[in-house]
Chains A and B, each alone.
Chain A
Amino acid sequence: MPSAPRPVTNTAADKRWRPVEAAMRRNGYRAGGLIEALHAVQRAYGYIDEAAMRAIGAALQLPLSKIYGVVTFYHFFHLKPKGRHTCVVCLGTACYIKGADRLLQTISREQQVSPGETTADGRLSLLTARCVGACGQAPAVVIDDQVVGQAEESAIHRQLAGLNSAGPGSDEEQP
């Protein structure tokens, strides 16, 4: 990997980068603040790209390989942008026992998107989770950060169909 500094995202001019900078400053620009900084990137941009990793690496004096190793270790961090809407199907034990994997299969079929992927038009990402903590209401599905408990196939389909293609995030171009 070339060590010469490459042009990264123009972080200085980007408003969204500010919380990332703040997270690193709060942690004294020490390596211990890496995960905090990555969380800040994902909150601001929705995912973590190479440019962001390089910018953090430069600030915290960490090699890209190490940052990449951390990003890929944790399931919570995404390397690719998500769709404008997200549908997270819980596959934790309580939900599994109540048929969550069949629910996932039908959603996947009806929405024509495999788990972990985003529809071709960027409208919807279908994701899975290990317990979203609503086990009392299993099976649980999270649509755009709203937990839907005791999720029934028909209700979920109606809700997904109702998501118009302009939704959260559509006002802002994905980077």
Chain B
Amino acid sequence: MNPEELQRIAAEELQAKSAAKHRIGVCTASGCLSCGSREVLKAIEQEAAARPEANLRIEGVGCMGLCSRGPLVMVQSGPVPAENSGAGAETAFLFKELTPADAPALVAYLEQQKSDPPTVAAGSTASSLAAKRCDLSAPFFRRQVKVVLEQFENIDPERIESYLAAGGYRALLDCLHHRRPVEIIDEITRSGLRGRGGGGYPVGLKWSTVAKAGAFVPQAGRSSRQSAGATAADRPDGPRKYVICNADEGDPGAFMDRSVLECAPHRVLEGMAIAAYAVGADFGYLYVRAEYPLAVERLRKAIVQAEKRGLLGRNIGGSAFNFQVEIRLGAGAFVCGEETALLASIEGRRGQPRPRPPYPAEHGLWGCPTLINNVETLANVAAIINRGADWFAALGTEKSKGTKVFALAGKIKNTGLIEVPMGISIHEIVHEMGSGEVGGIKAVQTGGPSGGCIPAEHFHLPVDYESLQAEGSIMGSGGMIIMDEGAAMVDVARFFMEFCVEESCGKCAPCRVGTTQVLLLLEKIGRGEGTAADLGQLEELCHLLQQTSLCGLGQSAANPVLSTLRFFRREYEQLLVDNTGKSNETDGSQSPQQGPQEVKK
């Protein structure tokens, strides 16, 4: 497909959209599907078919953020906003918790509306609908700045035309026809984009390392382990580099990447293709968790569609650039999110990390230079190309540019997916956007098993890579779990350590043995049997883990313990006994810590 064709398809799609009086988008991401959005979509379609004069256009679209209140349905009227404008439709209404039974009222109501924008008047047939209308001026929606999640409410994840109409693949064709690889890398470098997979490594720097690395020539006759390439039969056997999208998202409690893959698979593919062109790669892998079947299904569809349209494969967009993408399924091992373990897994081996250097950028998949980026990182790329590095760099803070997608979960009212500019305070996210009860919330956990707990007293902190690290936590991939007073911190630390014990790959002793020892100590303390000496040993072991483990899993496994010790040390101390076996607490009323839910309910 050349740029003119792309324009034509996009224009046709936009015209079809604009011809309808109202556009109804039903969320078909897995959150809403799990509470019945497919049935709601069907019911609305049936109802609309019975009333053609209503002139409605109905499609399944992506996640609209307030996942805990699904199924969500967005009704938009007026002209379709220009892509990349950041503007919403003229009028937009969001309904929550719709059921198939609401369909007749919704359609009848929209049909009654002649030319005026719909306002849900109380007392009409739509009165029950009125109660389900979300206030789009609430902080949860208003505070968001969408780059990665942009246009999710307008994109049907299963149709490439829909993505094209939202401005998709323009950046790729622009790069292929008008920009040299170095110019693209320069643009990404100037944008200040940093890796969203947890580490925060500057993306432009990584790209230029891979671009500069000489492509490795696979040699004939090497042992199968080293040269085995998962190849399509017609792949040229010349010098090769790879691009890998890390979609392993193992942090339990985070679902940003999943949502991006499910709702805008083409955005990720476009980012991969631009990256491949910039670094000189011709083959890419998407390493996706097997636990995300819907994401995998939509990615497969998206790859086929993009190949058909000549946006993946050979001579992309009529240029000389070839890029082929394949999906590789993970198999339920958290450590495979670590880049060298991920490489081993794609090569068909046990996913065990290896020491770095050499870094994958120089010595990656089957020895070839390999670029590994996270889903969200790659989903930022097209927007940066379209709107420029300066626009992106103006978002966020001095050192952390752009936006970050967070998965809000736990004890707040509005759980779901949000995208906010870097530098926003935790208070704004938790209390204003999440509608968390001020005073009722004790801490927020970021970064999953590699992160830490930030106590409510520190909620004024800005969310950026450095501030969170200074507090002993990490930005991580974007899971944010809000804990209320019922959360017992020793138990929270135990929960994460149990996770690390199970997920440790066992390659190095500090992590294999250390995590188990730490867990035993935490359990002992939790049962009310630990002594001050145990606490001292716990801390010592934690530091040992940090300093001597081979990979990030072991190095950061102690973070949840150390951060709860830092801010909630008293909870540990209250559980200690002295050497005679008596509780340290004078009133003796402190009982051993239970799981958070036992305390709460």
- State the A residues within 8 Å of B (CB): 26-28, 30-36, 38-39, 61, 69-70, 73-77, 91-94, 96-99, 101-102, 129-138, 140, 145-150
| A146 cross-chain contacts in B, Cβ below 8 A | 34
> Is A61's CB under 8 angstroms from B224's CB?
yes
B166 to chain A, nearest CB (A): 24
| Cα A145 to Cα B350 with chains together (Å) | 27
Complex: chain A residue closest to B66, CB-CB: A136
- With A70-B349, A94-B252 known, 16 other A-B pairs at CB within 8 A are A28-B229, A30-B229, A31-B225, A35-B331, A36-B328, A36-B329, A39-B290, A96-B495, A101-B597, A131-B251, A133-B291, A134-B30, A134-B31, A135-B415, A137-B34, A138-B410
> Is B255's CB under 8 angstroms from A133's CB?
yes
| Cα A153 to Cα B479 with chains together (Å) | 26
Q: Which of A27, A33, A92 is in CB contact (< 8 Å) with B253? A: A92
> Is B331's CB under 8 angstroms from A36's CB?
no
Complex: chain B residue closest to A77, CB-CB: B331
Complex: chain A residue closest to B262, CB-CB: A133
A87 to chain B, nearest CB (A): 15
Q: A92-B253, A135-B253 are in contact. Are A98 and B331 (CB under 8 A)?
A: no
Q: A93-B253, A96-B495, A137-B31 are in contact. Are A32 and B348 (CB under 8 A)?
A: yes
| Cα A35 to Cα B499 with chains together (Å) | 24
A104 to chain B, nearest CB (A): 11
| B293 cross-chain contacts in A, Cβ below 8 A | 145
> Is A135's CB under 8 angstroms from B407's CB?
yes
> Is B254's CB under 8 angstroms from A131's CB?
yes
B481 to chain A, nearest CB (A): 5
Q: Indicate the member of A70, A92, A101, A147 with the most B CB atoms within 10 Å.
A: A92
> Is B30's CB under 8 angstroms from A74's CB?
no
| A147 cross-chain contacts in B, Cβ below 8 A | 30, 33-34
Q: Which of A28, A36, A133, A136 is in CB contact (< 8 Å) with B415? A: A136
| Cα A102 to Cα B292 with chains together (Å) | 25
> Is B255's CB under 8 angstroms from A131's CB?
yes
B433 interfacial contact with A, CB 8 Å: no
Q: A76-B290, A146-B34 are in contact. Are A136 and B416 (CB under 8 A)?
A: yes
> Is A137's CB under 8 angstroms from B332's CB?
no
Report how many residues on chain B are interfacial, defined by Cβ distance under 8 Å: 66
| Cα A131 to Cα B31 with chains together (Å) | 13
| Cα A97 to Cα B252 with chains together (Å) | 12
> Is B481's CB under 8 angstroms from A137's CB?
no
Q: Indicate the member of A28, A69, A136 with the most B CB atoms within 10 Å.
A: A136
> Is A130's CB under 8 angstroms from B331's CB?
no
B558 to chain A, nearest CB (A): 17
> Is B410's CB under 8 angstroms from A73's CB?
no
> Is A33's CB under 8 angstroms from B230's CB?
yes
> Is A102's CB under 8 angstroms from B410's CB?
no
Complex: chain B residue closest to A136, CB-CB: B67
| A94 cross-chain contacts in B, Cβ below 8 A | 252-253, 409-410, 415, 479, 481
| B596 cross-chain contacts in A, Cβ below 8 A | 96-97, 99
| Cα A35 to Cα B344 with chains together (Å) | 11
B111 interfacial contact with A, CB 8 Å: no
A28 to chain B, nearest CB (A): 6
Closest 5 CB pairs of A and B: A92-B252, A136-B67, A99-B597, A74-B331, A76-B332
Q: A97-B487, A97-B596 are in contact. Are A133 and B409 (CB under 8 A)?
A: no
| Cα A93 to Cα B224 with chains together (Å) | 40
B333 interfacial contact with A, CB 8 Å: yes
A149 to chain B, nearest CB (A): 5
| B331 cross-chain contacts in A, Cβ below 8 A | 35, 38-39, 74-77
B595 interfacial contact with A, CB 8 Å: yes
> Is A98's CB under 8 angstroms from B597's CB?
yes
Q: List 5 A-B contacts (CB under 8 A).
A: A30-B229, A73-B505, A97-B487, A130-B499, A137-B35
Complex: chain B residue closest to A69, CB-CB: B350
| A138 cross-chain contacts in B, Cβ below 8 A | 409-410, 415
| Cα A164 to Cα B258 with chains together (Å) | 32
Q: A76-B331, A136-B409 are in contact. Are A101 and B595 (CB under 8 A)?
A: yes
B445 interfacial contact with A, CB 8 Å: yes
B417 interfacial contact with A, CB 8 Å: yes
B457 interfacial contact with A, CB 8 Å: no
Q: A76-B291, A130-B499 are in contact. Are A36 and B30 (CB under 8 A)?
A: no
Interface string of B5-20 (1 = CB under 8 A from A): 0000000000000000
> Is A99's CB under 8 angstroms from B255's CB?
no
> Is A93's CB under 8 angstroms from B229's CB?
no
> Is A136's CB under 8 angstroms from B68's CB?
yes
A65 to chain B, nearest CB (A): 12
Q: A77-B331, A131-B253 are in contact. Are A97 and B407 (CB under 8 A)?
A: no
Q: A93-B495, A134-B255 are in contact. Are A32 and B329 (CB under 8 A)?
A: no
> Is A136's CB under 8 angstroms from B230's CB?
no
Question: Which B271-292 residues have C-beta < 8 A from chain A?
Answer: 290-292
Q: Which of A34, A36, A74, A102 is in CB contact (< 8 Å) with B351? A: A74
> Is A70's CB under 8 angstroms from B410's CB?
no
| Cα A26 to Cα B324 with chains together (Å) | 14
A97 to chain B, nearest CB (A): 5
> Is B348's CB under 8 angstroms from A70's CB?
yes
| B33 cross-chain contacts in A, Cβ below 8 A | 147
Q: Indicate the member of A39, A93, A135 with the most B CB atoms within 10 Å.
A: A135
A159 to chain B, nearest CB (A): 13
Complex: chain B residue closest to A39, CB-CB: B329
A99 to chain B, nearest CB (A): 3
| B31 cross-chain contacts in A, Cβ below 8 A | 134, 136-137, 149
| Cα A34 to Cα B293 with chains together (Å) | 20
> Is A148's CB under 8 angstroms from B34's CB?
yes
B546 interfacial contact with A, CB 8 Å: no
> Is B228's CB under 8 angstroms from A132's CB?
no
Q: Which of B253, B290, B350 is in CB contact (< 8 Å) with A73? A: B350
B571 interfacial contact with A, CB 8 Å: no
